A and B are shown apart, each in its own frame.
Chain A
């Protein structure tokens, strides 16, 4: 892809990034940081590409190390964020109405 297209994509992504977190309450700062942390674990895609093109054993070893680290970032990040958010389900929240989709999901979870 040519430079100008990449620049366009980057600038638009910057604005989207600014926009999506502009009004978040401080309650969710920690989960949001953790969720964003998980997303940059997508460097795993880059690590896999590099490992898949490695011929030299040393290059492969370093690339595989990158794969391990990136996977830890990605998987661990999403799991720990989910655990934080799981705890926001207060037990005194009014139960969802039976018969609705949300109710069915609630039922399923129990």
Chain B
């Protein structure tokens, strides 16, 4: 049954599209972000209700059942997931969205003779499959199901080129013949291309790839809108495709990298001073009590949290330490590098979860001039984002990446697991400087010990 006519359908879809634009707009500012997300959800609900009352649908009980299954699985998982595991969940949701778009396109193939529509179907199939498989590999990397190091083998670029060439051939054939079998071959080629695309990407660059695949899924959804003649899908998909592209570039820029550089041979063959060899040079390592004294008698402390803090789930202890120091009258701030943690902005989320007030979280541009006035810079599980090689060593893989200027602080304390270099695989000269003190151990354990020692002062 159709309760409403096409004009009302179009108006309701337009309202939903406006909701999505307002949602993205709202997510630009911390004050409006939550409301923005809610507006987006309202838009989605409106669109789903509209499709039920505007199109003559069979199998409605089945469809409602499938919706209940999808929501029943996803909502509890999203509600309960650890905040440190959130990036891989976003990757997973992105992947299933791409997969859904590809399936929709596959089923629409038998309904059309039009070459343009078939072109849109081919695009959706390929990009949706790439997004699905690529997100799957990303999920595996972040979840620790496989190595986070770049996986490469000789002939990978050739294989990738062959797969893409075959995909183009299959795509043209699908457009000409409309063959379902060829479309399935295209689907498999897309899956293969997605895997090959993400395998060579190193752990530190994975967030950028998630963002890129997110934009891909957006484009696939937009193309599926062309296939179905549905303007809402077209607009919503295009919005995500465009905003996702901008976001991907912003993330890459924050790391001083180009998206192309990441996708095609990240950190490959770069000159890496002491890439895997651990240097034998002496460093000053110290005890938790000494670090506590350094911190406890300072006037201004800037904490630099990094990936190691996120992995050790030490954000609550870090927040407690900040509180303990503040109660001694010490000014404490958190300096957040744009790519600290596993995704840009991830560290803010983690620290906000630990109830660190928003005002204490300072962005790089804001805080860099303040290191000069700091007595201690406490670097917790971060390395590449404070490595001066980004400024001084032009051959270094991270050369050009903006860093936090911790070297300007009177004292620098590193809480590190070991002398192993960071993701970029390069040594940090700062570790050997005379003003630097190291405390080895798991970030959370070290923080707990330091916190206890500070309280005992």
Judge if B192 is at the interface, Cβ distance under 8 Å. Answer: no
Which residues in B have their C-beta under 8 angstroms from that of A9?
Answer: 231, 234-235
Chain B, range 40-74, C-beta contacts under 8 Å to A: 40-41, 44, 47-48, 51-52, 55-60, 62-63, 65-67, 69-71, 73-74
Interface centre among A14, A16, A76, A92 (most CB of B within 10 A): A76
Judge if A21 is at the interface, Cβ distance under 8 Å. Answer: yes
Chain B, range 60-101, C-beta contacts under 8 Å to A: 60, 62-63, 65-67, 69-71, 73-75, 77-79, 81, 83, 86-87, 89-90, 93-94, 96-97, 99-101
In the assembled complex, how far is the CB of residue B212 from the closest CB belonging to chain A, in whole angstroms? Answer: 10
User: Would you give the 0/1 interface string for B84-122, flagging 1 where the beta carbon is closer than 8 Å to chain A?
Assistant: 001101100110110111011011100000001000000
CA distance A30 to B47 in the complex (A): 25
Judge if A80 is at the interface, Cβ distance under 8 Å. Answer: yes
Chain B interface residue count: which class? 35 or more
In the assembled complex, how far is the CB of residue A83 from the closest CB belonging to chain B, in whole angstroms? Answer: 7
User: Would you give the 0/1 interface string for B196-233, flagging 1 where the beta carbon is closer than 8 Å to chain A?
Assistant: 00000000000000110010011011101111111111
- Given A17-B242, A36-B243, A91-B355, are A47 and B100 neighbors across the interface (CB < 8 Å)? yes
| Contact indicator A69/B40 (Cβ below 8 Å) | no
CA distance A42 to B97 in the complex (A): 9
Judge if B441 is at the interface, Cβ distance under 8 Å. Answer: no
Contact of B353 among A26, A44, A77, A87 (CB under 8 A): A87
Kindly count the residue-residue contacts between A and B in the assembled complex, taking CB atoms under 8 Å apart. 365
Question: Which stretch (B265-273, B339-347, B427-435, B445-453) binds chain A?
Answer: B339-347
Which residues in A have their C-beta under 8 angstroms from that of B83?
Answer: 83-84, 87
Judge if B415 is at the interface, Cβ distance under 8 Å. Answer: no
Contact of B24 among A20, A25, A44, A54 (CB under 8 A): A20
| Contact indicator B221/A43 (Cβ below 8 Å) | yes
- Given A18-B243, A67-B63, are A76 and B343 neighbors across the interface (CB < 8 Å)? no
Contact of A29 among B16, B222, B240, B345 (CB under 8 A): B345
- Given A40-B97, A42-B233, A44-B100, are A86 and B70 neighbors across the interface (CB < 8 Å)? no
Chain A interface residue count: which class? 35 or more
CA distance A87 to B19 in the complex (A): 23
Contact of A36 among B99, B232, B240, B358 (CB under 8 A): B240
| Contact indicator A49/B55 (Cβ below 8 Å) | yes
Contact of B62 among A44, A64, A86 (CB under 8 A): A64
Judge if B38 is at the interface, Cβ distance under 8 Å. Answer: yes
- Given A10-B234, A46-B104, A90-B359, are A80 and B67 neighbors across the interface (CB < 8 Å)? no
User: Would you give the 0/1 interface string for A8-32, flagging 1 where the beta carbon is closer than 8 Å to chain B?
Assistant: 0110011111101111111111111
- Given A31-B27, A54-B58, A79-B79, are A21 and B104 neighbors across the interface (CB < 8 Å)? no
Which residues in A have their C-beta under 8 angstroms from that of B57?
Answer: 48-49, 51-53
CA distance A77 to B356 in the complex (A): 25
- Given A1-B229, A67-B70, are A88 and B244 neighbors across the interface (CB < 8 Å)? no
Which residues in B have their C-beta under 8 angstroms from that of A69?
Answer: 70, 96-97, 99-100, 103
Contact of B239 among A39, A79, A87 (CB under 8 A): A39
Complex: chain B residue closest to A44, CB-CB: B48
- Given A18-B246, A49-B51, are A84 and B349 neighbors across the interface (CB < 8 Å)? yes
Which residues in A have their C-beta under 8 angstroms from that of B51?
Answer: 45, 48-49
CA distance A67 to B390 in the complex (A): 47
In the assembled complex, how far is the CB of residue B131 from the closest CB belonging to chain A, in whole angstroms? Answer: 10
CA distance A70 to B229 in the complex (A): 18
Contact of B78 among A26, A31, A59, A83 (CB under 8 A): A83
- Given A37-B97, A50-B107, are A29 and B250 neighbors across the interface (CB < 8 Å)? yes
Which residues in A have their C-beta under 8 angstroms from that of B69?
Answer: 68, 71
| Contact indicator B210/A75 (Cβ below 8 Å) | no
Interface centre among B47, B81, B247 (most CB of A within 10 A): B247
Which residues in B have their C-beta under 8 angstroms from that of A75?
Answer: 70-71, 74-75, 78
**Closest 8 pairs (CB-CB, A-B):** A17-B242, A71-B70, A52-B57, A76-B74, A73-B97, A29-B344, A13-B238, A30-B345
Seed contacts A26-B339, A29-B343, A33-B211; 19 additional CB < 8 Å A-B pairs: A15-B242, A24-B250, A26-B336, A34-B90, A35-B27, A45-B47, A45-B48, A46-B227, A48-B57, A54-B59, A64-B62, A67-B66, A68-B66, A70-B96, A73-B97, A75-B75, A80-B81, A86-B34, A91-B357
Would you mind naming 5 contact pairs between A and B with Cβ atoms under 8 Å apart?
A21-B243, A27-B363, A33-B214, A35-B37, A36-B240
